[in-house]
Chain A
Amino acid sequence: MKTLKRLAHHRLATAGAIVLLLLSLLAVFAPFLAPNDPADVNPSQGLRGPSLQYPFGQDALGRCILSRMLFGARISLTVGLLAGVISLLVGVVMGSLAGYFGGWVDLLVMRLAEVFMTIPQFLLVMASVAIIGPSFNTVLIIIGLSSWTGYARVLRGEILAIKQKPFVEAARAYGSGHLRLLSRHVLPNCWSPLIVMVTLNVANVILLESSLSFLGFGIQEPDASWGSILNQGRTYFQTAPHIATFPGLAIMMAVLAFNLLGDGMRDALDPKLVEEAR
């Protein structure tokens, strides 16, 4: 609770949280807020700019961009958050094993991470999706499973450093077992860099999903995500810049908001930083 209170005092983080909350509300209530049917095609009105009926303009097929973006927010945000959580979970488990237990476990996990890292993430995701077949769930799980390496490496390094601290030995000296040591004494001291990483990672996942959608491996038409609208707009950027501009702004806002929130959370979770800020 105290952490939340401290977070509330952080102005930029509050701003980030509010933006994310607004975006989520827009996504949740998309059916009520959308001015038009996102799948309604009007080829004769293709590439028209913003108007009263179509506030963000129309795409090449004459569909309402605002409506498509509202529904697209659901996909972009869900993929971002869920894939972010999946990769965090996998990364924390792998990093903890490697850092805390060390020895051959460490060797095994880190070599596995390196194998993952030698293959460009985008190619890995694309190839996997191509084999399994594109769908919302596959994209989610594959992106989640392919971006754990960063977390694992950072966490391993943190744990290696924290493990040596006298308070961990003191905790052992009053009878803590491995699980308690790891979960209560080591991990809580490692969160700060991970939290910052999560926000960057969520932003990155949103972009990754956009790229996949562009290549036809991600979200399939007629569904849309911000990325797929943006990439459709690229073709017409000189004649109809509004198509790429609005989803681009939305992605930027979401990514920025996640980053601000992450920064604030890092400060709020660290009692020392709070003390210095006073």
Chain B
Amino acid sequence: MQDLLKVEGLQIAFGTSPVVRQVSFGLKPGETLGIVGESGSGKSVTALSIMGLLSHPGRITAGSITFRGQDLLTLPEDKRRGLRGSSMAMIFQEPMTCLNPVYTVGQQIGEVLTLHRGMDKRKALANAAEYLERVGIPDPAKRLRNFPHELSGGMRQRVMIAMALAGQPELLIADEPTTALDVTVQAQILDLLSDLQKDTGMAQLLITHDLGLVAEYAQRAIVMYAGQVVETGTVQELFEHPAHPYTQGLLQSLPLWGEAQDRLYSIPGTVPRNLNMEGCAFAARCPHVEAACHQSQHMLPVTATQSARCWRASSGKAKEVAQACQ
């Protein structure tokens, strides 16, 4: 199957300092791809650049983004705007502030319908109720007249999802959709997203720093560190035999169910501030650092579907290291 979205060699800089380097991945229709990484690893910036929402001083310095075989970066702005909200939609991290406080929920969902589906206001408002029902909001006809501040965080995120759905997108980018929500609500929202995905066949880009969510809801994932993709593979591969020391470190730092642990593992050090370095960006924090780490690293295949940005990845050493960690 052809990729719905293909990002190749994407470079993004804020002014002169790079924040995203050499990011490449593909996304097939109906698939969920997780993007994992800590704060500042370039996940959100990558997502914004796909939507074309990158704002000053951020700009794309190299690479290409292809959506349905169409190069987005050479597309004129008005065409791109036409895609936003209809072919590709995005939901954000802060459901509390992502809805316009001066309009009712119905008006806001209605706006998407008038904008992208050519409905008049009356019809849009009538259809908005249908979308509220689809995202599991009880008594939708009544909720249409509510203002955002009258709803809880989970409800608001559902409304955001309803707005995203209203444009009938083929690609939904969810940028940490549940970070601001309770754990129970979190599960409800993500279950809703995966149900909707089954119904509509849309592809999802799930951006999160929670490995658990990726394991549960994504088929494949990419791990980002310091603006680079350091590892990519199916979720099973990443969890069972991570090849990059960073992924290994992330997995080690998860609490284990049912086991008494004094202290959780943490990766020593912090993310480097200057990304113009030679060699592996993780070298300063890596427990297995060797001379070869200070030369520039490339994505090397581990299996047919997994690859990692570490010279050990294809040499078989990765597995030894991974086993040593467990």
Residues in chain A within 8 A of chain B (CB atoms)? 165-167, 169-177, 180, 184-185, 188-189, 271-272, 275
Contacts and interface: CB of A to CB of B under 8 A. Distances in A.
B115 A175 contact: yes
B217 interface: no
A165 B97 CA distance: 7
Interface stretch (B159-167, B187-195, B203-211, B297-305): B159-167
A185 B100 contact: yes
Of all A-B residue pairs in the complex, the 7 with the closest CB atoms, nearest first, are A174-B85, A175-B85, A175-B84, A173-B90, A170-B98, A166-B97, A167-B100
Nearest to A169: B53
A177 B81 contact: yes
Interface string B66-90: 0000000000001001111110011
Given A166-B97, A275-B150, A172 B164 contact: no
Contacts of A172: 53, 84
Given A174-B89, A174-B112, A167 B99 contact: yes
Contacts of B98: 166-167, 169-170
A103 B73 CA distance: 24
Contacts of A170: 90, 92, 98-99, 160, 163
B116 interface: yes
A72 to B, nearest CB: 39
20 contacts: A165-B97, A166-B94, A169-B53, A170-B92, A170-B99, A170-B160, A170-B163, A173-B51, A173-B92, A174-B84, A174-B89, A174-B163, A174-B167, A175-B82, A175-B84, A176-B85, A177-B81, A188-B100, A189-B101, A271-B147
Contact of A166 (B78, B84, B92, B116): B92
Contacts of B116: 174-175
Nearest to B97: A166
B256 interface: no
A251 B140 CA distance: 51
B102 interface: yes
Interface in B108-135: 111-112, 115-116
Nearest to B160: A170
B149 interface: yes
Contacts of A189: 100-102
A267 to B, nearest CB: 14
A169 B89 CA distance: 12
Contacts of A166: 92-94, 97-98
Interface string B137-163: 000000000010110000000001001
Nearest to A173: B90
A176 B89 contact: no
B164 A174 contact: yes
Nearest to A172: B53
Interface-centre pick from B53, B85, B102, B163 (highest chain A CB count, 10 A):
B102
